[in-house]
Amino acid sequence: MHHGWGEFTVKDVILTLDQQMSNPLAGCKSPLKKFMGYDSMTEMIDSGNAEIVDDYTLKMKLARAPGGRGRLVVQHLVVPCAAVRSSAQHEAEGDAMFESGPAGTGGYQFVERELKEYTEYEAVPYDHWRVNPEFKRMRITTAPEDLTRLAMLLTGEANMVDVPKVLHQQAIDEGMEVFESPLPSVGLDHLALRPVRPQPGQLEPDTEPWTAPGETGRLVREAMNRSIDRNQIINELFKGRGEPMYNTIFHDTLEGWNPRWADEFDEKYGLRPGTGQAVVGRGRLPRRQWPESLLA
């Protein structure tokens, strides 16, 4: 259900994709067109490659299957490009809906906003289909400065803030509690909106020793892992508040976690000072191709 604007239907999906693909600043048209083959959902329907089966079912014949990197792109587009809007609200209010309060399907609904100041929401006044919020009202305040956010927390102006780890101890000393995120502190994300080709002298993945096929590449990756002191990184960069991630961007609280990754990591990839060169040597990799960190 869209708050106050009826059920979630195919018309909402068509409106959303048409609007997102018509806006050059949204960054949605180019990647979506690669898979849809058209400049809009309406054009795709008119061509016969998309069919409205009923109010709740839309069948699409894609120009190309979203596999491999393409599938990753489509998954990343779900949040910014496919947050479905209410067609009924748009028919009634037009683009003014984005200021008066766009209808959504979550447990909170829009109340008001002050540009560069805050956005305020309230819990929906009915039993929500997924979850009933514990807080009846929520305000997200814009405060770019770290110390300002800390001051808001310590004075009671805010109940929860995001501050860098260097300020954690000050907050703890004042009786605050730190909630750790299951997401990585530094993640890698790539949304390829245009072809990217390394220039000569830049990263060339196909020629790097750690990408070598077979056992050689595996041994180089093992050697590099055995040369990294993760505890020192946690203590120095994260002030002792952090934990290793044994599988990049995959936390042990997430569905699909395999405990073997943690149980076997130290044996296979844990810090072993001075053993990196021996590991690489077993792979018979020419010394000139050894990563610099292993040459010392």
- Name the more confident of 190 and 171: 171
Our separate counts of H helices and E strands in the chain read 13, 5
111-142 residues labelled b (16+ CB within 10 A) or e (exposed): eebeeeeeebbbbbeeeeeeeeeeeeeebeee
Neighbours of 145 (CB within 10 A): 8
CA–CA separation, 60 and 156 (whole Å): 51
Q: Name 52's bridge partners.
A: 58
pTM for the model: 0.51
Residue with tokens 């296979």: 268
Residue 77 has pLDDT above 60, yes or no: no
Q: Of the ranges 69-83, 120-134, 183-197, 267-281, which is most confident? A: 120-134
Q: Would you say the C-alpha torsion 40, 98, 84, 160 has a positive or negative sign?
A: positive
Which of 122, 154, 120 minimizes the C-alpha distance to 140? 120
| Residues 67 and 74 sit within 8 Å (Cβ to Cβ) | no
| Residues 195 and 205 sit within 8 Å (Cβ to Cβ) | no
Q: Which amino acid is at 123?
A: A
Q: How does pLDDT run across 36-70, given as a tens digit for each residue?
A: 899 999 999 999 999 999 999 999 998 876 554 44
pLDDT of residue 249: 65
